[in-house]
Amino acid sequence: MIHDGLVQHGFIRVAAAVPKVRVADCAYNAEQIVTLMRRAEAQGVAVLVFPEQSLTGYTCGDLFHQSTLQTAAVAALAEVARRGQKCFTGLVVVGLPLVVDDQLCNAAAVVQNGVVLGVVPKSYLPNYKEFYEARWFAPSVRLRNQTVKLLDRDVPFGTDLLFDAGEHMPGFVVGVEICEDLWLPIPPSAWQALAGAAVLVNLSASNEVIGKAAYRRQLVANQSGRCVAGYVYSSCGVHESTTDVVFGGHCLIAENGVILAESARFERDAVLLIQELDLHRLRSERIKTNSFGEQQPLVHDRSWRRIPFALPRTAPERLLRAVEAQPFVPRGQEQLAERCQEIFHTQVAGLAKRLETIGKPNVAIGISGGLDSTLALLVACKTFDLLGAPRTGIHGLTMPGFGTTARTRQNALDLMRHLGVTAAEIDIRGLCLDEMRGLNHRPFGIALDGLTVEEFTGKLHQVAAEQCQDLIFENVQARMRTSLLMNRGFVIGTGDVSELALGWCTYNADHMSMYNPNVSIPKTLVKFLVRWAAENEFTGPAQTTLRDIVATIISPELLPTGANGEIVQRTESVIGPYELHDFFLFHFLRYGAPPEKIVFLAEHATFERRYSSEELRRWLKLFVQRFFANQFKRSCLPDGPKVGTIALSPRGDWRMPSDAAAAAWLAWAERG
């Protein structure tokens, strides 16, 4: 019985195998292959790929012309098929020399459940340097027949074969090529992908020379990316080494430009490299990338034969592949530093172009002492440096309100002073009281008539935490700050893409600016950017302040502080952890993953805090509700640079009706 977990979410497990080989000993080689098939079955592998000429060994030389070897190879194939019927239920691909049309071809046989489903010949034969394949084999273009008599049945034969399990899983189509085919300007796998293959496999015998492994890695990654496909590559191992060539048994599994798994080379024992491919993700990418479909007419003059096959009878419950809990934040420190540098300088370049275009005006920016406004200020400083303009042209304004703490206020003032910008402070509490009086509003039930700011603030400290909910009170402060900024010049925005996704911004307040360099940066990456900038772009006392800002609790500071002056309004206590929302946003927007798959992936990710399935479902439901309900805020966003694969600009990546219904995305939550 197929387990629903991985399969229903589009995952199939694939493997590249390197058996121990005795050159020209086909019976021994078949035994080694069967042993690896058993191991693969225990791991729920659906597609298992062996190296080129794996039944005979690639380095047989002129022995390939011996009928004894040719007959032994077919007998070994029969043994693999017969024993595989009992020990491996997936698709297995093995290499052998095969006589067709009175010629010998370098072939890949595709087998399942005791039956050879099809045979694919090698298209391009290397015959240069250490390679002499044209001495023994005929290229596919010289072969005429579309079937070959093999194991007492007519078997489909040719380079036009695709192996299709679409009846069981849409998009599960396998294409086969052999070694040198990948090295050509237009590999056969490119045509196979355009014809619908999402899993491409390569049986290879690539020997080892200095630098070749890196090039091989690039080839596999790039071909999987160009073809928007999974790519499984298996190459001959050390036991093939002879005379002047050494083989390393290099195995690679890639998906859409990314190497998911790679084996160590020069292993003496058999190798079985296993990983999952996400077929739903690949299908989503192909649908979304319309230029991929534009090339499909190129294959219309080619006929393709689709050979059906079945999914394995068993599948694993859990993923082997890593699911990044923070998909926007690279794992390694070197990669993270490189990412931060690229993003920061993209922000600077975008803002510099805008300011140059409008005559390099002075700019205004609200500084709260929090992460987002800090990042925007750092970008502004480096932009002015780049343009040769004094930083005094940056007018930083901190506007403490009823929820501002002494820590964030002091950090805002210190940062502006250390960076050399023009700093100002306006206490907005009195202005907000006047506006609330004009609105006849009684915040938290408090009558405002005759109250001074200090008296009102004292009463706020008496408000119970559970009563601290007043949207008008919050919005008046947020809009007051924006009004003060807008009257001071060209306003640089500070909000990030995570806040925009959730609608965690006040319409026509922090939601609005003339240009926002943070507009496509997720919250989980902001703190890393600020920390990177502190360590790489700024020196002196500013670094100390920046480190303290990184350690500050995330809050809009719009609700009253506690009696001790500390933050009461913690954003993540209200809307949920940003690490989850950024995870949801990535998979929802980048790959169009349905909610049930997002939860499945989140259950496999390792978060800083562990979450139960119930918590994941609760926060994802909130994410979906807020994402749909707040599209109207995103429909009128200011300009800002796209820095990654996720952006919500209505002029760029995301065009969504403001009044779309979320019912279909919330139905899973009702099912429990």
Question: At 664, which CATH number?
Answer: 3.40.50.620
What's residue 365's pLDDT?
98
pLDDT tens digits, one per residue of 142-194? 998 999 999 999 999 999 999 999 888 889 999 999 999 999 999 999 999 99
Q: Are 527 and 552 in contact (CB under 8 A)?
A: no
* Residue 521 included in any domain: yes
* Maximum Cα interatomic distance, the chain, rounded to a whole number of Å: 107
* Residue 325 included in any domain: no
Point out the catalytic residue in the list 26, 179, 236, 505: 179
* Phi then psi dihedrals of residue 620, to 5 deg: -70, -40
What's residue 502's pLDDT?
97
pLDDT band at 510 (very low <50, low <70, confident <90, very high): very high
What's residue 76's pLDDT?
98
Active site residue 179: yes
* Residue 495 included in any domain: yes
Give yes or no: residues 341 and 438 share one domain: yes
* Residue 629 included in any domain: yes
48 by DSSP, 3-state: which?
strand
pLDDT band at 3 (very low <50, low <70, confident <90, very high): very low
Q: Are 267 and 36 in contact (CB under 8 A)?
A: no
Paired tokens of 582: 């950024």
**Average pLDDT, integer, range 259-283:** 97
What's residue 464's pLDDT?
59
pLDDT tens digits, one per residue of 284-333? 999 999 898 887 777 766 789 999 999 887 777 789 999 999 999 998 89
pTM for the whole structure? 0.92
265 by DSSP, 3-state: which?
coil
Give yes or no: residues 402 and 291 share one domain: no
Give yes or no: residues 113 and 207 share one domain: yes
**Residue among 137, 147, 67, 72 at smallest CA distance from 106:** 137
Domain containing 643 equals 333-671
Active site residue 122: yes
Q: Measure the CA–CA gap between 531 and 526, rounded to whole angstroms.
A: 9
Give yes or no: residues 285 and 362 share one domain: no
With 90 as the cut, is the pLDDT of residue 53 above it?
Answer: yes
pLDDT tens digits, one per residue of 402-458? 989 999 999 999 999 999 999 999 999 999 999 999 999 999 999 999 999 999 988
Q: Which of 240, 274, 308 is the last residue of a domain?
A: 308
Q: Which of 308, 324, 356 is the last residue of a domain?
A: 308
What's residue 295's pLDDT?
77
pLDDT tens digits, one per residue of 512-569? 999 999 999 999 999 999 999 999 999 999 999 999 999 887 765 556 666 665 655 5
* Residue 22 included in any domain: yes
Give yes or no: residues 287 and 421 share one domain: no
Give yes or no: residues 337 and 303 share one domain: no
Give yes or no: residues 493 and 408 share one domain: yes
**Average pLDDT, integer, range 476-494:** 96
Point out the catalytic residue in the list 41, 79, 122, 340: 122
What's residue 1's pLDDT?
31
What's residue 555's pLDDT?
67
Residues listed for the chain: 672
- For the chain, the C-alpha Rg in angstroms (whole number) is 31
Q: Measure the CA–CA gap between 373 and 486, rounded to whole angstroms.
A: 16
Q: Measure the CA–CA gap between 53 and 58, rounded to whole angstroms.
A: 5
> Which has more pLDDT, 606 or 428?
428
Active site residue 432: no
> Which has more pLDDT, 647 or 608?
647
561 by DSSP, 3-state: which?
coil
> Which has more pLDDT, 67 or 569?
67
Q: Are 379 and 352 in contact (CB under 8 A)?
A: no
**Average pLDDT, integer, range 628-647:** 95
What's residue 317's pLDDT?
77
What is the domain count for the chain?
2
Helical (H) or strand (E) element with 14: strand 11-18
Give yes or no: residues 511 and 548 share one domain: yes
What's residue 194's pLDDT?
94
* Residue 319 included in any domain: no
Q: What is the separation, in whole angstroms, between the first and last Cα of the chain?
A: 23
Q: How many CB atoms lie within 10 A of CB 358?
A: 10
Q: What percent of the chain has pLDDT over 70?
A: 96
CATH assignment of the domain containing 118: 3.60.110.10
Indicate the average pLDDT of the chain.
Answer: 93
Give yes or no: residues 348 and 245 share one domain: no
Q: How many CB atoms lie within 10 A of CB 586?
A: 22
What's residue 331's pLDDT?
87
> Which has more pLDDT, 575 or 70?
70
* Residue 186 included in any domain: yes
* Residue 494 included in any domain: yes
**Average pLDDT, integer, range 353-371:** 96
Give yes or no: residues 378 and 230 share one domain: no
Give yes or no: residues 295 and 403 share one domain: no
Give yes or no: residues 61 and 189 share one domain: yes
